[in-house]
Chains A and B, each alone.
Chain A
Amino acid sequence: MVREIENTAGIPVVQIATIVPIMMTVGANRIVPGVAIPHPVGDPEAGYEGDQKKRRELLNRAFKAMTTQVDEQTIFSE
C-alpha cells in the first residue's frame, strides 16, 4: 500500500511501523521505526504526557523524513 501510494501520487509517503524488515520488503522508501505493534505511534504505558510526547517525537521524525532527499530506502531512527 505504501509503495503504491507513493508510486501513484508521486509524493513522499513515510511509513511508521514496528517490524523494519517488513517495511523494507514491501518497498517503503522513508521508514520511521514505531514503538510497538499494537501502538506504533504512542506509548500508552508512559501515561498521558509520555504518550503524547512519544507521538510528537515520532511525527517530528516523519516530518524530517518527508523533507529529506533520499535515493534509496532509508530508516530514520532519530
Chain B
Amino acid sequence: MTFRVVHYINQFYAGMGGEDTAHVAPSSREGVVGPGLQLQNLLEGEGEVVGTIICGDSYYGENMEKAQAECIEMIKAFEPDILIAGPGFNAGRYGVACGDICAAAGEQLGIPTVTALFAENPGVEMYQKKTFIVETTDSARGMRKALPNMVTLSLKLLKNEKLGPAKEEGYLSRGIRKGFFHEQTGAERAMDMLLKKIRGEEFETELEMPVFKKIKPAAPVKDLSKATIAICTSGGIVPFGNPDHIRVSSAEKYGKYNISELTDLTPENYESIHGGYDRVYANDNPDVVLPLDVMREMEKEGVFGKLHEFVYCTTGTGTAVANAESFGQSIGKDLKEAGVDAVILTAT
C-alpha cells in the first residue's frame, strides 16, 4: 500500500514570501509544495504526499490555539497516515509551529508525526517528548541531509518497525527509556563508568539528568518612585546605520547606546535591523519595540525614578543560546555596577 503523507510548511517554503507574508492564515493544497517535492522523491513510491498545509509563521505564533485547530481540520481532511512538518532548522517561530502541529496531530488524529529541527530551536524543548524531531543543522543548508533522515524515520514509524535509541536513529531524545537485558549487571556497568570518569575518559550515562534552566525570581522593586529602570531588547533596534554592525540574525554581540538625550525613537535616529520579523512597523516607529517615548513620559510623571541612560540591544533570531546567555551575563554585570533596580526587556 502507499502511505498517505501530509506535509506542513511555512509561507517561506511555500514560495509565498518572507516576513511580508508571515501573517497569512493556514491554507491547504493538494499534493506537494516546495520541499515536499523532494520528500515525495525520497519516499520512492512507498508513500505519497497527498496534501500540503501552509501557514504564516507569525500567524501561528500569535494565534497558536486557533492556528492549530485550523491546521488540524485541514490535515484531517486528507486522511493521512503520517504528518511530516518542516524541516524548521533554527527558525524559532517555524520550529515552534512544526512541533506544535505535530504534537497536536499525534494526540488528536492518532497518527505518527515527524519534524526536523536544530537542537537549540525552542520548539525542541517544548515538543521533543510529543513528536519525533530529526536533528538538523541550523540553516537550510542542511536540507539535503535532513529530508532523507525524515523519510527513513517516517517509513519506520509507518511500518511499525522497532526503533533503536534516539541517537542511532538520528532524532532528538523523547525522554523514553526502554528496558532490555544487558549481559552485565548494573553494578558492573556503574563501576566501568566510574573508572572511566576517574581516568578522564569519555563515558555515556544511562540516565541523563534533565537540565532545568530556571532561576529563582529576584526580589521585587520596593519603591518604584525611586527606582532606576533600564530598557533592553532582542528586537534588533539600533541607532540608525547600525554603528556596531550587529548581525541581522545569529548575533555575536550586543550594542550599548546612550539615550540620555533622547525622548523619542524616530526613523531618523533609530531603526530595526532584525532579520526575523517584518520591520515595517518598527522602522516607522522604533518605540513599538523599544518603548523609549512612553518610558520618558512616565519618568517625567514620576511613575518611576529614572530611566537608565543606556539601552542594550541585539537581534534574537537564530542567535546561539550560549551567545544569548553571555550577552545576558555581561549586560547584567554592567547594570549591577550602574545600580539599576529593574529591567524591561522586549523581544520579538
Q: List which B303-348 residues lie within 8 A (CB) of chain A.
A: 303-304, 314, 316, 324-329, 331-333, 335-336, 340-348
Q: Which residue of B lies closest to A51 (CB)?
A: B288
Q: B221 interface residue, CB < 8 Å from A?
A: yes
User: What A residues does B326 contact at CB under 8 A?
Assistant: 4
Contact status A41-B58, CB under 8 Å: no
Given contacts A12-B217, A51-B285, A55-B288, contact A5 B343 (CB under 8 A): yes
Across the interface, A39 reaches (CB within 8 A) one of B218, B222, B281, B340, namely: B281
**Cβ–Cβ < 8 Å partners of A22 in chain B:** 92, 96, 122, 126
Q: Are A44 and B347 in contact (CB under 8 A)?
A: no
B345 near A11: Cβ-Cβ < 8 Å: no
Contact, CB under 8 Å: B287 / A55? yes
Number of interface residues of A (CB under 8 A): 55
Q: Does B138 contact A (CB under 8 A)?
A: no
A12/B219 contact (C-beta < 8 A), A27-B213, A38-B282, A51-B288 known: yes
CB pair B224–A63 under 8 Å, yes or no, is: yes
Contact count A vs B, C-beta below 8 Å:
212
User: In the complex, how many angstroms separate the beta carbon of B248 from the nearest chain A beta carbon?
Assistant: 14
A36 to chain B, nearest CB (A): 6
CB distance from B297 to the nearest CB of A (A): 8
Given A5-B232, A5-B328, A12-B221, A41:B291 Cβ within 8 A: yes
- A73: which of B122, B214, B220, B285 is its contact (CB, 8 Å)? B214
CB nearest to A21 among chain B residues: B126
Is there contact, CB below 8 Å, between B218 and A1? no
Partner of B341, one of A11, A39, A41, A42: A11
Contact of B221 among A3, A56, A67 (CB under 8 A): A67
A4: nearest residue on chain B (CB-CB)? Answer: B328
Complex: A4 Cα to B316 Cα, angstroms: 14
Q: Note all chain B residues with C-beta closer than 8 A to A1.
A: 234, 314, 316, 324-325, 327-328, 331, 345
| A72 lies within 8 A of B217 (CB) | yes
Per a CB cutoff under 8 Å, which of A3, A55, A67 touches B213? A3
Chain A 1-43 interface residues, beta-carbon cutoff 8 Å to B: 1-19, 21-23, 25-27, 29-30, 34, 36-43
B299 CB to nearest A CB, Å: 11
A66 within 8 A of B: yes
Write the chain B residue with the least CB distance to A15: B345
25 A-B residue pairs with CB within 8 Å = A3-B328, A7-B329, A8-B331, A8-B332, A9-B333, A9-B335, A9-B340, A10-B218, A11-B341, A12-B218, A12-B220, A13-B344, A18-B61, A19-B61, A19-B92, A21-B64, A22-B96, A27-B214, A37-B58, A38-B19, A38-B288, A39-B289, A41-B287, A52-B293, A66-B344
Residues of A within 8 A of B (CB): 1-19, 21-23, 25-27, 29-30, 34, 36-44, 51-52, 55-56, 58-60, 62-63, 66-74
Give residues in B with beta carbon < 8 Å to A. 19, 22, 58, 61-62, 64, 92-93, 96, 122, 125-126, 213-215, 217-222, 224, 227, 229, 232, 234-235, 277-282, 284-285, 287-291, 293-295, 297-298, 303-304, 314, 316, 324-329, 331-333, 335-336, 340-348
Q: Give the top 10 A-B pairs by smallest Cβ distance, nearest first.
A: A4-B328, A8-B332, A42-B288, A17-B347, A39-B288, A29-B217, A9-B332, A1-B328, A5-B332, A9-B336
